[in-house]
Amino acid sequence: MPSGPALEVVDLVKAYGSRRAVDGLSMHVPAGSVVALLGPNGAGKTTTIEICEGFRRPDAGKVRVLGRDPVADATELRPRVGVMLQDGVGGYTGATTVELLRLFASYAADPHDPHLLLEVVGLTEAAGTAVKRLSGGQQQRLSLALALVGRPELVFLDEPTAGMDPQSRHGTWDLIRSLRADGVSVVLTTHLLDEAEQLADDVVVIDQGRVVAQGSPAELTRSGAEGQIRFRAIAGLPLDQLVDVLPLGSTALEPEPGRYLITGDVTPELLATLTAWCAHQQVLAQDLSVERRTLEDVFLELTGRELRT
Ligand code: ATP
* pLDDT at site 163: 82
Q: Which residues line ligand 1 (CB under 6 A)?
A: 16, 21, 39, 41-47, 191
| CA-nearest residue, atom 2 of ligand 1 | 41
- Ligand 1 centroid to residue 58 C-alpha, Å: 14
- Per the DSSP assignment, residues forming a β-bridge with 289 are 230
Does the structure show a pLDDT above 80 at 236? yes
Spatial separation of the C-alpha atoms in residues 148 and 239, rounded to whole Å = 56
Does the structure show a pLDDT above 70 at 222? no
Ligand 1 pocket test, pick from 12, 13, 45, 47 with the greatest ligand atom count within 8 Å of Cβ, gives: 47
pLDDT in tens, 64-111: 999 999 999 999 999 999 999 877 676 766 899 999 999 999 988 889
Residues constituting the chain = 309
pLDDT in tens, 44-77: 999 999 999 999 999 999 999 999 999 999 999 9
Using pLDDT thresholds of 50, 70 and 90, give the confidence band for residue 223.
low
- Can you give the three-state secondary structure of the chain, one letter per residue? CCCCCCEEEEEEEEEECCEEEEEEEEEEECCCCEEEEECCCCCCHHHHHHHHCCCCCCCEEEEEECCECCCCCHHHHHHHEEEECCCCCHHHCCCEHHHHHHHHHHCCCCCCCHHHHHHHCCCHHHCCCEHHHCCHHHHHHHHHHHHHCCCCCEEEEECCCCCCCHHHHHHHHHHHHHHHHCCCEEEEEECCHHHHHHHCCEEEEEECCEEEEEECHHHHHHCCCCEEEEEECCCCCCHHHHHHHCCCCCEEEEEECCEEEEEECCCHHHHHHHHHHHHHCCCCCEEEEEEECCHHHHHHHHHCCCCCC
- Ligand 1 centroid to residue 99 C-alpha, Å: 32
Stated pTM of the model? 0.80
Instruction: Give the residue from 123, 46, 48 showing the smallest Cα distance to 87.
Output: 46
Does the structure show a pLDDT above 60 at 2? no
* pLDDT at site 181: 94
Does the structure show a pLDDT above 80 at 166? yes
- Ligand 1 centroid to residue 18 C-alpha, Å: 13
* pLDDT at site 99: 94
Which ligand 1 atom sits nearest the alpha carbon of residue 17? 29
Does the structure show a pLDDT above 80 at 262? yes
Task: Average the pLDDT over each of 62-71, 217-226, 263-272 and give the range with the smallest value.
Answer: 217-226
* pLDDT at site 218: 81
- Ligand 1 centroid to residue 181 C-alpha, Å: 32
Average pLDDT over residues 233-248: 95
Spatial separation of the C-alpha atoms in residues 265 and 249, rounded to whole Å = 8
Q: Are 95 and 128 in contact (CB under 8 A)?
A: no
Spatial separation of the C-alpha atoms in residues 99 and 107, rounded to whole Å = 13
pLDDT > 70: what percent of the chain? 94
- Ligand 1 centroid to residue 42 C-alpha, Å: 5
| CA-nearest residue, atom 20 of ligand 1 | 42
| CA-nearest residue, atom 31 of ligand 1 | 16
Mean pLDDT value across the chain: 90
Ligand 1 pocket test, pick from 16, 211, 309 with the greatest ligand atom count within 8 Å of Cβ, gives: 16
Which ligand 1 atom sits nearest the alpha carbon of residue 159? 2
Other Cβ atoms within 10 Å of 72 Cβ, number: 10
* pLDDT at site 4: 85
* pLDDT at site 41: 84
Largest CA distance in the chain: 75
Does the structure show a pLDDT above 80 at 139? yes
Better-predicted residue by pLDDT, 227 or 202: 202
- Ligand 1 centroid to residue 200 C-alpha, Å: 23
